[in-house]
C-alpha cells in the first residue's frame, strides 16, 4: 500500500546517490549527512547522477519501506537548490511535480 500523502514532511538529498544502496546505507546518509532521524516518520528522497532513478525511504507501520522509480526515457526535473545544504525540504506537491514533470531526452542516432 502506498502510504505517502501531503501530511508528511519530505526531504530531498541534493547529492547523487549510488542506487545500489539499500535500507541501512540510505538510513546512514539520513542520520550522518542529512542530520535527520529515520524513526520520526519523515520521507527521504534520493536520486542518481543521471536523474533517471529515484528512491524514497520512509518508515511505515511494519518498518522501513523503499519506493523505487526508474525511468526508461527522460530524467527527473529537480527544483533549484543550494548544493551545499545537507537536505532540502520539499512539499508533497513538489514531489508530485518531480515525478510527473519528466523531461524526455532526445535520442541521437549514432553511426555504426
Q: How many residues does the chain have?
A: 112
102 pLDDT higher than 70 = no
Cβ atoms of residues 48 and 55 within 8 Å: no
Q: Which residue has the higher pLDDT, 105 or 21?
A: 21
Whether 1 has a pLDDT exceeding 60, the answer reads: no
Least confident of 25-39, 58-72, 97-111: 97-111
How confident is residue 101, by pLDDT bands cut at 50, 70 and 90? low
pLDDT reading at 60 higher than 70: yes
25 pLDDT more than 90: yes
**What's the average model confidence in pLDDT over 57-77?**
88
**Residue 95 host element (H or E):** helix 92-100
Amino acid at each position: 500500500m502506498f502510504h505517502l500523502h501531503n501530511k508528511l514532511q519530505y526531504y530531498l538529498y541534493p547529492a547523487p546517490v549510488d542506487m545500489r544502496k539499500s535500507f541501512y546505507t540510505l538510513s546512514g546518509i539520513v542520520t550522518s549527512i542529512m542530520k535527520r532521524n529515520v524513526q520520526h516518520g519523515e520521507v527521504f528522497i534520493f536520486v542518481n547522477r543521471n536523474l533517471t532513478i529515484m528512491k524514497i525511504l520512509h518508515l511505515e507501520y511494519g518498518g522501513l519501506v523503499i519506493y523505487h522509480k526508474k525511468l526508461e526515457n527522460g530524467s527527473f526535473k529537480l527544483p533549484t537548490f543550494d548544493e551545499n545544504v545537507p537536505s532540502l525540504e520539499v512539499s508533497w506537491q513538489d514531489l508530485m511535480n518531480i515525478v510527473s514533470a519528466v523531461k524526455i531526452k532526445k535520442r541521437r542516432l549514432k553511426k555504426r
